[in-house]
Amino acid sequence: MELEKFSYDNKIVRNFALATIIWGFVGMLVGVLIATQLFHPQLNFNIPFLTFGRIRPLHTNAVIFAFVGNAIFMGIYHSMQRVLKARMFSDLLSNIHFWGWQLIIVAAAITLPLGLTSSKEYAELEWPIDIAITLVWVVFGINMIGTIIKRREKHMYVAVWFYIATWVTVALLHIVNSLAIPVTLFKSYSIYAGVQDALVQWWYGHNAVAFFLTTPFLGLMYYYLPKAANRPVYSYRLSIIHFWTLIFIYIWAGPHHLLYSALPDWAQSLGTVFSIMLIAPSWGGMINGLLTLRGAWDRVRQDPILKFMVVAITAYGMATFEGPMLSLKNVNAFAHFTDWIISHVHIGALGWNGFLTAGILYWLVPRLFKTELYSKKMANVHFWIGTLGIVFYASSMYWSGIVQSLMWKQFTDIGVLQYPNFLETVLQIIPMYIIRAFGGTLYLIGFVLMMYNLIKTMKQGSFEANEETEAPAMLKEVKDKKYSHRWLEAKPIQFLVVAFIAVAIGGIVEFLPTFLVKSNIPTIASVQPYTPLELEGRDIYIREGCNNCHSQLVRPFRSETERYGEYSKAGEYVYDHPFLWGSKRTGPDLHRQGGKYPNLWQYLHMEDPKSMSPGSIMPAYPWLITDQLDITNTAAKIRALQKIGVPYPEGYNQFAVDDLIKQAEEIALDLQNNGAPAEADKEIIALIAYLQRLGTDIKADKIASDK
Amino acid sequence: MMRDVLQSVEGISLYPIISMIIFVLFFAILIIWMIKVDKNYIKKMSNLPLEKEDENGIINTGELNEK
């Protein structure tokens, strides 16, 4: 048979590899900084752009989308060309994809510290960047499908299936979750409100973990592990089952992020049941990976690449067992909102994503540069120092999560909270925060060693941008009944459609009842839209990223109703665009904050938290006191919210600013009467208005019914 | 409470049944497929990434290997 000559595009692979290394360093450095701020809050240097609430999203976005994202593209562009025996469909599209993605990352690195955020976790970027992500993702998709269509290998290896499922699902998740109504170039409101927004967000959040941090990496595992171990995958049959079961089940489990929340109970139970089922495909994949090394374990001892991969796959197995356990309502009641979850995600991020990426880089870079790895010894040191870092990180966070949760729930003999002051439980775990930062630093040092090692490797080798190769052309369709499944796996478009249906079913089952019934959320008559001033205050709350440390969701437990007040009802959130439930309580819940303290307390506390709560680790927000509240867009905000169903009276936007000024003057007057040099036109006034409103609407209802 | 609300949707009783049928069918089809799948195909596919650098002596030319 005649062989066709063609070349692999190695340049794009190298570019993505460099981007992976650079952004990985940046993302982890920011991680160490925010970890340190948790016991040294002054390390924000009183600069708004470096404050925890703003750069925590920068850390998560940098690690997920910049580090892991570029690693995914590196692996996909390298492995796909080889298993399909074809150069990427278009060099131009490859380059647009690469530079487009880097520009998006830069845009994120600029806008997030500026406080331009949607507040939705892992989807914080504002709408123009969301559109850019969509466009780049489409470019990536065309490039990928184009390559599959012009391939020379008739059958698609299972890794490619994972890539296709990743592409189609991330597209679906990103678009559905990012739907928002723009107010200005960098301000928008989610079109969903309250409970619906929470459901959509955690359907997204959960499946972003599934289809950005898991499925593409499983695809990479199925290619690079056999390559590094030099033996085929343990069971290809199992990999097929793994693939279909995983993508089908994963999508249903999103509501497990909202257990004991105001989400309808049936949706919570659905999330739990499917999370437990997820153990099967996840462990199927892990076992398939580990058993690939059967008979080669002696090599694991010598080869750092295999070491990284084995720990990565083991971390995957641990995290995917822990996840379903955390989805059990009783475990979740204990672990949610604590550092336990931080530990859980870092087992995944540092272990699974970080170590698999390291393994692939150590394998790939010497091959791209036609040389040996500069120092195997250094790679071994990286492995051990990184592993030690993970151990310090995870164990300190487990400890801190368990201790704090026990303290939150501890009652005395006479039935009152033993630690009624939230701060007491924080001070208890500060040593754990220090150990965590130490563990993170160790991991970062290991990463820097890898950077050095790889750069040295690149320097000593010679890079070949276009790797010449040859393969026989793909045979034209031969009718062969023996391979009946070929209608599916030999045809990328059909495959894409079927994969899309498989993932869409779970989403539809979850969403349909919630969206079908207009009155699905029991409305509470006394719940009213925010006043213009409160709305502006809420936007400051979003800008400063308060939701990164404070939840707004009191769960129906005695320990929480004692501490915070009445548990949260779904109907209280109907005007919350977006919802601000949060996912972590580094500070106390704020849903019943309204009326809890006088305005003066809030004022002084924002100016310097330590003055009101000695030992507090909350950063100070002095700029809120000096900066003038921007009211140029207040009317536009009211109009935008009206369009998505918030019942402000017709034409209210014309009076909004008047109302705002009136309310601001009342609050300022109260502050002045109590001795604070407050001015009515400052940002702090709006924030206080919002904080004092939080969770008070149902109290009004109670007062009315008492009368 | 949620049940009362959901009952107001017409034909909602079919909803869990349809969900269940889709769910069971999915796994039934997957299992049948895996039982019937061709062994040569499995063998060829699992060796696909190893081509060229393969030290096991399996040469993969893009055609299915004969037994």
Name the CA dihedral angle for A547, A552, A554, A555, rounded to a multiple of 10 degrees. Answer: -60
Cα separation of A576 and A193, whole Å? 5
The yes/no answer to whether this complex scores an ipTM above 0.95 is: no
Cα separation of A432 and A514, whole Å? 41
Total domain count, chain A? 2
* Closest alpha carbon within chain B to A264: B2
Let me know whether A692 and A648 are in one domain.
yes
Q: Which of A277, A274, A357 is nearest to A315 (CA)?
A: A357
**3-class DSSP state for residue A565?**
coil
DSSP A485: T
Let me know whether A450 and A590 are in one domain.
no
Residue A662 one-letter amino acid: K
Residues 66-95 (A) with a CB less than 8 A from some CB of B: 79, 82-83, 85
Let me know whether A116 and A229 are in one domain.
yes
Q: Which CATH number characterizes residue A204's domain? A: 1.20.210.10
pLDDT at A95 over 90: yes
Nearest to A483 among B27, B41, B46 (CB): B41
Nearest to B49 among A83, A266, A502 (CB): A83
Nearest to B5 among A235, A244, A519 (CB): A519
When scoring A4, A233, A510 by the number of chain B Cβ atoms within 10 A, the one with the most, hence best to mutate, is: A233
Q: What is the pLDDT of residues A205-264, one digit of tens each?
A: 988 888 999 999 999 999 999 999 999 999 999 999 999 999 888 888 878 888 887 777
**Three-class secondary structure assignment of A150-186:** CCCCCCCCHHHHHHHHHHHHHHHHHHHHHCEEEEECC
pLDDT at A147 over 90: yes
Let me know whether A504 and A558 are in one domain.
no
Q: Which of A350, A354, A356 is nearest to A390 (CA)?
A: A350
B30 and A483 within 8 Å at the Cβ level: the answer is no
Nearest to A223 among B22, B26, B49 (CB): B49
Nearest to B62 among A154, A222, A235 (CB): A154
Let me know whether A143 and A28 are in one domain.
yes
Tell me, what's the pLDDT at A581?
94
DSSP structure string for A645-706 = T--PPTTTHHHHHHHHHHHHHHHHHHHHHTT----TTBHHHHHHHHHHHTT-HHHHHHHHHH
**Token couple for A40:** 């040294």
Cα separation of A45 and A473, whole Å? 62
| Within-domain flag for A429 | yes
When scoring A247, A278, A517, A519 by the number of chain B Cβ atoms within 10 A, the one with the most, hence best to mutate, is: A517
Kindly tell me the burial class for residue A344, based on how many C-beta atoms sit within 10 Å of its own C-beta (0-12, 13-18, 19 or more). Answer: buried
Residue A560 one-letter amino acid: E
Cα separation of B33 and B37, whole Å? 6
| Within-domain flag for A488 | no
| Within-domain flag for A487 | no
Let me know whether A504 and A603 are in one domain.
no
Name the CA dihedral angle for A492, A493, A495, A501, rounded to a multiple of 10 degrees. Answer: 160
Q: Domain limits at A557?
A: 532-706
**3-class DSSP state for residue A328?**
coil
Cα separation of A655 and A532, whole Å? 9
**Token couple for A655:** 């009076």
**Which chain A residues are Cβ-neighbours of B55 within 8 angstroms?**
230
- Find the chain B residues whose C-beta atoms sit closer than 8 A to any C-beta of A: 1-2, 5-6, 8-9, 12, 15, 19, 22, 26-27, 30, 33-34, 36-38, 41-50, 53-56, 61-62
pLDDT tier for residue B54 given thresholds of 50, 70 and 90: very low
Let me know whether A125 and A27 are in one domain.
yes
Let me know whether A453 and A582 are in one domain.
no
A502 touches chain B (CB under 8 A): yes
pLDDT, chain A, mean: 91
**Which chain A residues are Cβ-neighbours of B4 within 8 angstroms?**
none
| Within-domain flag for A539 | yes
Instruction: Count other Cβ atoms within 10 Å, centred on residue A271.
Output: 26
B26 and A502 within 8 Å at the Cβ level: the answer is yes
Let me know whether A231 and A327 are in one domain.
yes
| Within-domain flag for A419 | yes
Q: What are phi and psi of A95, to 5 degrees?
A: -70, -40
Q: How far is B16 from chain A (nearest CA, A)?
A: 9
When scoring B1, B2, B27, B40 by the number of chain A Cβ atoms within 10 A, the one with the most, hence best to mutate, is: B2
Q: What is the pLDDT of residues A312-352, one digit of tens each?
A: 999 999 999 999 999 999 999 999 999 999 999 999 999 99
Asked if A61 and A112 count as a contact pair (C-beta separation under 8 A), the reply is yes
A502 and B42 within 8 Å at the Cβ level: the answer is no
**Token couple for A158:** 């299972």
A237 and B34 within 8 Å at the Cβ level: the answer is yes
Q: What is the pLDDT of residues A521-562, one digit of tens each?
A: 667 778 899 999 999 999 999 999 999 999 999 999 999 999
Cα separation of A263 and A202, whole Å? 11
What residue ranges in A464-569 does DSSP mark as E strands? 466-472
| Within-domain flag for A493 | no
Residue range A390-400: average pLDDT? 96
Let me know whether A327 and A406 are in one domain.
yes
The span from the first CA to the last CA of chain A, in angstroms, equals 92
pLDDT tier for residue A265 given thresholds of 50, 70 and 90: confident
**Which chain B residues are Cβ-neighbours of A505 within 8 angstroms?**
22
Q: Which CATH number characterizes residue A626's domain? A: 1.10.760.10
Q: What is the pLDDT of residues A463-520, one digit of tens each?
A: 989 999 988 887 655 555 555 555 666 677 888 888 888 888 877 777 776 665 555 5
Q: Which of A90, A67, A91, A71 is nearest to A79 (CA)?
A: A71
Tell me, what's the pLDDT at A120?
94
B37 and A512 within 8 Å at the Cβ level: the answer is no
**Which chain A residues are Cβ-neighbours of B47 within 8 angstroms?**
232
Side-chain half-sphere exposure of A414, counting CA atoms within 13 A: 0
B22 and A520 within 8 Å at the Cβ level: the answer is no
Cα separation of B1 and A456, whole Å? 65
| Within-domain flag for A564 | yes
Size of interface A-B (CB pairs under 8 A): 91
**Which chain B residues are Cβ-neighbours of A370 within 8 angstroms?**
none
Nearest to A236 among B12, B45, B55 (CB): B45
Query: At a CB cut-off of 8 Å and minimum separation 6, what does A636 contact?
Result: A183, A184, A653
A158 touches chain B (CB under 8 A): yes
C-alpha to C-alpha distances, A41 to A274, A610, A616, nearest whole angstrom:
40, 11, 9
Residue given tokens 């009624």 in the structure block: A420
Q: What is the pLDDT of residues A356-381, one digit of tens each?
A: 999 999 999 999 999 999 999 999 99
pLDDT at B60 over 50: no
Let me know whether A202 and A333 are in one domain.
yes
Let me know whether A425 and A546 are in one domain.
no
Q: Which of A328, A331, A347, A219 is nearest to A279 (CA)?
A: A328
A158 and B45 within 8 Å at the Cβ level: the answer is yes
B46 and A245 within 8 Å at the Cβ level: the answer is no
A517 and B30 within 8 Å at the Cβ level: the answer is no
| Within-domain flag for A554 | yes
